[in-house]
Chain A
Amino acid sequence: MPFQTLLDNYLAVFLAAIVGFILTATALIGARLLAPYSKERGKSVSYECGMLPIGRARAQIHIRYYLFAILFLIFDVEAVFLFPWAATFSAAGKAAFWEMVMFIGILAAGLGYAWKKGVLQWTKQ
Chain B
Amino acid sequence: MTVLGAPLVNLNQHWLSTLLGIVALTLVMTFAVMFATYYERKVIARIQQRLGPMRTGPYGIMQAFADTFKLVAKEDLRPATADPVAFELAVFAIFIPAFLALIAIPYTQDWIVSPLPLSLLYLLAVSGLSFIGFLMAGWGSDSKYALLGGMRAAAQLISYEIPLILAAIGVVMITRTVDLSAIVVFQHKVPLIVWQPLGFLIFLTASIAELERQPFDIPTGESEVAGGVFIEYSGIRWSMFQLTSYVNMYVFSLLGALVFLGGWEWPFGRDVGWGYQLLLTLAKMSIFIVFYLWVRASLPRLRVDQLMSYAWKVLIPFALVQIFLNGLVLVYDLPDVALLITSGAGAAALVFFIYRSVRVKPRRPLEMVANGVAARSVV
Which of A's residues lie within 8 Å of B, judged by CB? 1, 3-4, 7-13, 15-17, 19-21, 23-25, 27-28, 30-32, 34-38, 41, 43-49, 53, 56-59, 61-62, 65, 68-69, 71-72, 75-76, 79, 82-83, 86-90, 93-94, 97, 100-101, 104, 108, 111, 115, 120-123
Contact A59 B147 (CB under 8 A): yes
Q: Does B92 contact A (CB under 8 A)?
A: yes
When distances are taken between beta carbons in the complex, the residues of chain B under 8 Å from A43 are 75, 77
What is the chain A residue whose CB lies nearest that of B236?
Answer: A31
Contact A34 B78 (CB under 8 A): no
When distances are taken between beta carbons in the complex, the residues of chain A under 8 Å from B328 are 97
- Looking at the complex, which of B150-158, B203-211, B282-290, B342-350 is the stretch in contact with chain A? B150-158
- How many chain B residues touch the partner (CB < 8 A)? 91
Of the candidates B79, B114, B312, B317, the one whose C-beta lies within 8 Å of that of A46 is B79
When distances are taken between beta carbons in the complex, the residues of chain B under 8 Å from A48 are 143-145
Contact A57 B142 (CB under 8 A): yes
Q: Does B172 contact A (CB under 8 A)?
A: yes
In B324-345, which residues have CB < 8 Å from any A CB?
324, 327-328, 330-332
When distances are taken between beta carbons in the complex, the residues of chain A under 8 Å from B3 are 3
When distances are taken between beta carbons in the complex, the residues of chain B under 8 Å from A44 are 77-80
Contact A86 B169 (CB under 8 A): yes
When distances are taken between beta carbons in the complex, the residues of chain A under 8 Å from B317 are 108, 111
When distances are taken between beta carbons in the complex, the residues of chain B under 8 Å from A15 are 15, 18-19, 22
Of the candidates B6, B172, B236, the one whose C-beta lies within 8 Å of that of A35 is B236
Dominant secondary structure at the A interface:
helix
Contact B100 A16 (CB under 8 A): yes
Tell me the complex Cα distance, A83–B165, Å: 9
- Cβ of B10 to closest chain A Cβ, rounded Å: 7
Tell me the complex Cα distance, A68–B304, Å: 13
Residue picked from A17, A34, A37, A86, most chain B C-beta under 10 Å = A86
What is the chain B residue whose CB lies nearest that of A91?
Answer: B176
Contact B331 A94 (CB under 8 A): yes
When distances are taken between beta carbons in the complex, the residues of chain B under 8 Å from A104 are 320, 323-324
Q: Which 7 A-B pairs give the minimum distances between C-beta atoms? A: A12-B114, A122-B305, A31-B236, A20-B99, A44-B80, A46-B79, A46-B143
What is the chain B residue whose CB lies nearest that of A69?
Answer: B158
Contact B8 A68 (CB under 8 A): no
Contact B100 A20 (CB under 8 A): yes
What is the chain A residue whose CB lies nearest that of B176?
Answer: A87
Tell me the complex Cα distance, A7–B232, Å: 40
Contact B169 A61 (CB under 8 A): no
- Cβ of A60 to closest chain B Cβ, rounded Å: 10
Tell me the complex Cα distance, A122–B78, Å: 33
Of the candidates B74, B162, B378, the one whose C-beta lies within 8 Å of that of A75 is B162
Contact B76 A35 (CB under 8 A): yes
When distances are taken between beta carbons in the complex, the residues of chain B under 8 Å from A21 are 92, 96
27 intermolecular pairs with C-beta atoms under 8 Å apart: A3-B6, A7-B9, A10-B114, A10-B116, A15-B15, A15-B18, A27-B236, A28-B76, A28-B236, A31-B76, A31-B235, A36-B73, A46-B79, A46-B142, A46-B143, A57-B143, A57-B144, A71-B312, A75-B162, A76-B158, A83-B121, A94-B332, A111-B312, A120-B308, A121-B305, A123-B305, A123-B377
Of the candidates A11, A101, A108, the one whose C-beta lies within 8 Å of that of B9 is A11
Contact B100 A97 (CB under 8 A): no
Of the candidates B82, B103, B147, B309, the one whose C-beta lies within 8 Å of that of A16 is B103
Using known A-B contacts A7-B8, A13-B100, A21-B92, determine if residue A87 contacts B172 with beta carbons closer than 8 Å: yes
Contact B75 A68 (CB under 8 A): no
- Cβ of B121 to closest chain A Cβ, rounded Å: 6
Residue picked from A1, A82, A121, most chain B C-beta under 10 Å = A82
Contact B177 A45 (CB under 8 A): no
Tell me the complex Cα distance, A96–B232, Å: 52
In B105-136, which residues have CB < 8 Å from any A CB?
113-117, 121-122
